[in-house]
Amino acid sequence: MPETGTLPPPPREERGYLGSAGLVSLFTLASRICGFVRDMAMAAVFHVALLDIFFLAFTIPNLFRRLFGEGALTAAFVPVYSDYIENRGEAEARRLVDAVTTILTVILALLAVAGIAICGLLLFASPTPEGRLALLLTQGMLPYLLLVCLSAFFSAALQTHRRFLVPALAPVLFNVVWIGTLGGIVLAGKGDSEEGLFVLAGAVLGAGVLQVAILLPSLAARGALPRPRWEPRHDGVLRVAHAMAPVALGLAVFEVNVLADRLIAWWLVPDRGAITVLYLANRLIQFPLALVAVAIGTAVFPDLARFAARGASEEQSRTIGEAMRVTLFLDLPAAVGLAVLARPMIVTLFGRGEFDPSSVGRTAVVLACYAAGLWCFSSVVLLTRSFHARGDTRTPFRTSFAAVAANLALNLALVRPFAEAGLAAATTLSSFLNLVLLVRADRASPSRLPLVEVARSLARSAAYAAAMGGALALPALAFPWEVAGELARAGALLASIAAGGIVYFGAAALFRSPELARMMARLRSRRARREVLE
């Protein structure tokens, strides 16, 4: 029995996913802030024509990160690993980690070598200096795919053990290395040069090594430090591979579409800088997406997988419903703020150095197009997690395939009249289609999303966000953003964001938003529990 006057800590599951999501969000915020500093420095140091080449080259290793690291493998591995921990013991779970790590390392190393060889062959056929530079940079950064995928896989293993701190630190470290390298490039006088881009490519590899290294002590502490074990016919490996195949196909279709978007921008948008404009606007939209939807999805996924392993459909439905309501409650004001304050944000963050007023205007339009789809992007992230947690990887593959096909068609239809803004609008429209298809498929599951409750929550949050948008319109239109000094712009932007937040959360409190009440109750519960345990 516990000592008199003290309470035992509650079971880990009863602590809820919001605490873990808060930790992930905190370090995601730190990583995104570092990422913004990095992107601001990139836009100031390099002309958009050089940035186009670098971001195009970085697309390939980043594609494999999302495909094998944070995407298909993670979605397939976590439910199987959770099942092994719950039902087969830690020894078998460690054996699974060893086997998957060994196979993953071999496959990714072979892919990196093959990619380097293919780029070498394409160098002989590339007719332009820009194309040759892009291929050389791609060759230099391809080994990063092995490092970043191992980092993402090790992070997934730690998150299954509900260890979120160190995995959340790894991306922060990556951005710090990148920023430090940019500073060195400027001090060495290599800014806005091809030589500077090659230095950055080397920094990407160094940061990848550090991302893996920082995770190893935590894995060792959990007894999950991987050792070489070649067991391709291990039951868990086969289960992971079986679950991974349709997810990989679905994500491959999506990631190939991302590559196609950038190639279409490279070939069909007459003004240079389209890839950079799309990249920077996407980085801004990824901020609330990662801070809210991805963080909540990451934190809730192990719980959803455990509920699915136990056949607890009601708990899974309740959990995904609450996660969706909280996500939309936080993402809708972000979407409205990004749309209304698009130009002020772009000119404040990037409007200096090599990033001219024309690039500012183009990026602001693209950001507004992406912002219109933020709620769709977030909903797709969570619903896909729900399907994967219950072992259904085929449905998200089918819906993503349909959405990507629609996106490609819309890209070709909209790129000529609207340039890169047409590509962003196509992304938003195809994401809405993906969401509709996922919701329809989800209705047949006993652990389905409680759609009526979510729709009511969405309507409430949209009303609060509309009031906030009206309040933000005045500073967005009246303040002289282009001619004001940098400190004045930054102060005005921060004041506008703060005012928007006061209006939104004030309206939510005034009308007694259940989502706000739920979040505040969680915070009070955590504070009270901390006081008791102290």
CB 84 within 8 A of CB 302: no
Q: How many domains does the chain have?
A: 2
Q: Are residues 111 and 240 in the same domain?
A: yes
Q: Are residues 112 and 145 in the same domain?
A: yes
Q: Are residues 370 and 489 in the same domain?
A: yes
pLDDT (tens digit per residue) in 461-492: 999 999 999 999 988 888 999 888 889 999 99
Q: Are residues 228 and 352 in the same domain?
A: no
Res 14: pLDDT: 39
**What distances in angstroms separate CA 53 from CA 132, 276, 283, 373, 476, one per listed residue?**
10, 9, 17, 27, 33
The amino acid present at 534, given as its one-letter code, is: E
Structure tokens at 40: 């601001």
Res 508: pLDDT: 93
Q: Are residues 331 and 446 in the same domain?
A: yes
Which residue bears the tokens 């490609």? Answer: 408
Has residue 261 been placed in a domain? no
Q: Are residues 131 and 196 in the same domain?
A: yes
pLDDT (tens digit per residue) in 26-50: 776 777 788 888 888 888 888 888 9
CA angle 436, 442, 447 (to 5 degrees): 145
4 by Cβ neighbours in 10 Å (0-12 / 13-18 / 19+) ranks as exposed
End-to-end C-alpha distance for the chain, whole angstroms: 18
Res 263: pLDDT: 86
Q: Are residues 225 and 287 in the same domain?
A: no
Has residue 206 been placed in a domain? yes
Res 4: pLDDT: 35
Has residue 365 been placed in a domain? yes
**What distances in angstroms separate CA 47 from CA 178, 353, 359, one per listed residue?**
18, 9, 10
Has residue 260 been placed in a domain? no
List of the chain residues with pLDDT < 70? 1-25, 28, 66-71, 126, 246-255, 523, 525-534
Total Cβ atoms within 10 A of residue 238 = 13
Range of the domain at 184: 22-244
Has residue 398 been placed in a domain? yes
Q: Are residues 55 and 200 in the same domain?
A: yes
Instruction: Decide: helix, strand or coil at residue 520.
Output: helix
Has residue 255 been placed in a domain? no
**Percentages (nearest 5) of helix, strand, coil residues in the chain:** 85, 0, 15
Q: Are residues 424 and 378 in the same domain?
A: yes
Has residue 251 been placed in a domain? no
Q: Are residues 466 and 344 in the same domain?
A: yes
Helix ranges, 65-193 (H): 72-87, 90-123, 129-141, 144-160, 165-187
Res 532: pLDDT: 42
Q: Are residues 198 and 338 in the same domain?
A: no
